[in-house]
Structure 1
């Protein structure tokens, strides 16, 4: 979130942070290029093209990021997952696989920083692209509805045991993307 949208300085810093994260992703790609098995080169090149596309978008942004930027980041994440699957079946060196996992984390950081560059709150449910909310405390039902999920389900915050359902308010005020999975409501997560 920006501190003072009127002067735009925070947005510039956030875009600089975003560009830095994208560069980190490119550095990881370059560090693994020579070690990638032949059957994974096409997948790596696809990820490299994706990251270069993200970089190009950020370099040419005029004010705010385009509305489809997060969808492009999601496509990059999907391509990184495809690369990981290819490497898993190839039985690659664990160090190489860890570097690709670092790339996955970097793409997630890119997604977080992209959301921080907007004056809205970013939410991700399951593997869908980020959706934006203007309010900091929407209900679980409104989030599920926005993602086309069953509003009777529960939202489970990724990395925690926090669950939200029905009219529970979900605090989105932390920086970055708030990530959830949707699960059928049970007595344990209602």
Structure 2
């Protein structure tokens, strides 16, 4: 079984709009989530790099679509989407972000799956449910990372996982869920397996 080497990931480019994104070929997986959900930390944990995706003490600073190539392979990419929820920006700017994000999610042919990052203590926010609704409309598979699992005791984390799965039962053909902790390195192999399946496709994974 082929495996991708995520520590080889490197920054490729940033794009403010769909038109400025890299050529729409190959395969890519996008990471989305509220600004404080731990999205950048999850990408850094996956790639075993401390600062590939920039973490900020001011949530919502990422206003660009950031692309990372897996080593020299430009045909397989990770994408860090702008975070939402806590950004202190004018409403006009926020609406502009949403328009560009919607363009990317609906029109990007190389997008094979969406990793939706949620704080295990505050899952399924309004933003999360909007993203799930969009994915359902597009028949786009979604893998949910319930991050910061180290903040809960094992039993409480398992209970939170079960509750999210229960609430998403109607989408179970498209949505998978796991616990994740960037701090403890929990769940990285499970995430890698999901990304391999999307980025390599059924014939290679």
**Do Structure 1 and Structure 2 share a fold, with TM-score over 0.5?**
no
Structure ranking higher in helix proportion = 1
Rg comparison, structure with higher value: 1
Q: Which has the higher contact order (CA 8 A, sep 6+)?
A: 2
Structure ranking higher in strand proportion = 2
